[in-house]
């Protein structure tokens, strides 16, 4: 049974008039994808100049590697805009890659040795050098292979008018800023409890190239020579074989309050780690990492969801001073069956889940419950489609399917709330369709990707084939007219801004790094 955090707060936003405030929800995507050459090997070419400067372009940049593109959509109140803009970025980018292709899957294949993976090079300014050294440090700490795994992040925020109304309904004596941050952290804690639904419904990485393991042992089975898979896996990207955070288990970052969270991150960027000290920070003038502490910067901390605040200060400092502005959900795999990697039902589901997580009672997470949350995620990503799979709830084993149905029941009022806000039945209809995946796991993307990999006689063959299909399809629909001009101007402007930054007096890099931690 759904419990609300104050009064019957959700009921206030269910009426025709009151629900309109939800039209102010802002959404945006950040999508990573690797550039590969015609043979499927990781591209060794520089970031294409026709795309602009990856240091200053607002929509097209790189993540860890020079070959790992990152596409960023501006935040928008229009639910349809982020996916359309993401498609437009693809339509602009693909014709400017020459014979290279965007790899369709989250999990890469032909990478070579760690040293063969080029770090993203942002230029010679202190800002650019800071980003490069940070990436070099990540490679030394976790290995470069892990950093080439791609995913999709969903950024989500509620409007000021919503927070003002909820603040009044709950008769909170706290300031609006503190109230908002407290409720966002409650949302995050509930997402840590129930976020396993995301990889179950949308996970799309049930198989990997054997070469990715680089000799590491695993419990995966052989699908065909060269391809390993989990028979019931949903998202190996999120497993210990993928983008895992086992090296960060000593951090103990709490989401029970903004202060606990920011204090833990502040401590982590200032607490030395013996192994990182052994690596060393510098060799003469060459910087190997930004520091030898548990974290180089706050963004190194890996989490399924992060509280965020746009600002010039460090993330922890900005959050502490100004509060939470939005949340970043980080659990979506790339869907290789779709040319832009994400389907329309994913943001619809995310909207409903996040709204439920916001309103649902969200007590602090104990160490015991955090262990349960971690174990539940591990079970779902490695064997989520297993017919008799059970999850842990308050030290008791309960079946995944009844738990998932119960959560869908609890989400139904929030789908209705959003349909009231926007008109129509899109949210309710989408949730009804997605619910079928609970009792029919063969409808999940992970099951479909696995069957396609089997039909293509290997994961690499499948991923390469769909990558080339997507390339051909996007080349057939290039940008034109004013939209093309907008993207071309943005690329040119980013190059001008990049040159302006590099022409400025930089000062010493040592002082720049010290200033960051001040």
What is the rounded (10 degree) CA torsion for 17, 18, 19, 20? 60
As a whole number, mean pLDDT of residues 483-497 equals 98
3-state SS of 448-507 is HHHHHHHHCCCHHHHHHHHHHHHHHHHHCCCCCHHHHHHHHHHHHHHHHHHHHHHHCCCC
Interhelix angle for 400-422 vs 426-439, to 10°?
170
Q: What is the pTM of this model?
A: 0.96
> What would the pLDDT profile of 354-388 be if each residue is shown by its tens digit?
999 999 999 999 999 999 999 999 999 999 999 99
Q: Per-residue confidence at 243, pLDDT binned at 50, 70, 90? A: low
How many Cα atoms occupy the beta-carbon half-sphere of 293 within 13 Å?
A: 19
- 90, 474 Cβ separation under 8 angstroms: yes
Residue 330 phi/psi, 5-degree rounding, is -120, 25
Whether 6 has a pLDDT exceeding 80, the answer reads no
Q: What is the mean pLDDT of the chain?
A: 94
Give the bridge partners for 61, in sequence order: 70
Q: What are the DSSP calls for 302-348, one per residue? A: --SEEEE--SSS-HHHHHHHH---EEEEEEEPP-TTSTTS--THHHH
Provide the residue ranges of all domains of the chain, joining segments of one domain with +: 9-517
Place of tokens 């190059």: 495
Model confidence at 112, pLDDT cuts 50, 70, 90, reads confident
Residue 108 has pLDDT above 90, yes or no: yes
The per-residue pLDDT for 5 is 60
252: number of Cβ within 10 Å: 12
pLDDT band at 250 (very low <50, low <70, confident <90, very high): confident
pLDDT surpassing 80 at residue 143: yes
Q: Which residues contact 217 (CB under 8 A, 6 or more apart)?
A: none
pLDDT value for 167 = 94
**Predicted pLDDT at 1:** 47
CB-CB neighbours of 338 under 10 Å:
16
CATH of domain 9-517: 3.30.590.20
Residue with tokens 């029941």: 409
Band of pLDDT at residue 214, cut at 50, 70 and 90: confident
Question: Is residue 262 over pLDDT 90?
Answer: yes
pLDDT value at residue 237: 96
CA distance 389 to 402: 11
């Amino acid at each position: 049974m759904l419990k609300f955090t104050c009064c019957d707060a959700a009921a206030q936003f269910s009426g025709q008039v009151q629900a309109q405030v939800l039209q102010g929800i802002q959404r945006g995507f950040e999508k990573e994808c690797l550039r590969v050459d015609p043979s499927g090997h990781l591209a060794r070419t520089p970031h294409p100049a026709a795309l602009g400067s990856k240091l200053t372009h607002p929509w097209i940049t790189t993540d860890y590697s020079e070959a790992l593109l990152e596409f960023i959509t501006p935040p928008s109140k229009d639910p349809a805009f982020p996916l359309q803009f993401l498609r437009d970025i693809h339509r602009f980018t693909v014709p400017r890659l020459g014979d290279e292709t965007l790899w369709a899957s989250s999990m890469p294949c032909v990478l070579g040795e760690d040293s063969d993976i080029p770090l993203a090079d942002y230029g010679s300014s202190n800002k650019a050098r800071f980003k490069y050294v940070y990436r070099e440090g990540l490679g030394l700490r976790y290995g470069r292979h892990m950093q080439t795994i791609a995913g999709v992040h969903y950024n989500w925020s509620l409007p000021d008018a919503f927070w003002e109304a909820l603040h009044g309904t709950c008769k909170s004596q706290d300031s609006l800023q503190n109230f908002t941050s407290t409720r966002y952290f409650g949302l995050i804690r509930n997402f840590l409890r129930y976020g396993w639904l995301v990889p179950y419904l949308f996970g799309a990485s049930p198989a990997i190239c054997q070469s990715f393991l680089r000799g590491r042992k695993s419990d995966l089975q052989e699908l065909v020579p060269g391809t390993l898979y989990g028979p019931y896996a949903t998202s190996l990207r999120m497993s210990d074989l993928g983008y895992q955070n086992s090296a960060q288990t000593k951090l103990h970052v709490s989401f029970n309050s903004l202060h606990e969270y920011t204090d833990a991150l502040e401590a982590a960027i200032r607490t030395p780690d013996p192994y990182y000290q052994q690596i060393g920070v510098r060799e003469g003038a060459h910087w190997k990492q930004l520091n030898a502490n548990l974290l180089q910067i706050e963004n190194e901390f890996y989490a399924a969801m992060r509280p965020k605040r746009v600002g010039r200060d460090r993330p922890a400092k900005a959050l502490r001073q100004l509060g939470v502005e939005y949340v970043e959900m980080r659990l979506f795999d790339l869907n290789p069956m779709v040319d832009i990697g994400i389907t329309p039902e994913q943001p619809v589901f995310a909207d409903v889940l996040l709204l439920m997580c916001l309103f649902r009672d969200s007590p602090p997470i104990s160490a015991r419950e955090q262990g349960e949350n971690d174990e539940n995620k591990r079970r779902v990503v490695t064997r989520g489609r297993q017919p008799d799979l059970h999850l842990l709830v308050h030290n008791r084993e309960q079946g995944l399917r009844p738990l998932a149905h119960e959560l869908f029941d609890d989400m139904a009022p929030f789908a209705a709330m959003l349909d009231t806000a926007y008109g129509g039945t899109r949210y309710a209809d989408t949730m009804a369709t997605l619910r079928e995946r609970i009792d029919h796991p063969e409808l999940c993307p992970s099951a479909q990707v696995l069957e396609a990999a089997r039909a293509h006689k290997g994961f690499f063959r499948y991923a390469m084939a769909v990558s080339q299909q997507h390339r051909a399809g996007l080349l057939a629909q290039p940008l034109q007219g004013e939209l093309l001009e907008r993207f071309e101007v943005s690329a040119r402007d980013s190059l001008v801004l990049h040159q302006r930054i590099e022409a400025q007096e930089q000062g010493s890099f040592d002082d720049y790094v010290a200033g960051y931690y001040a």
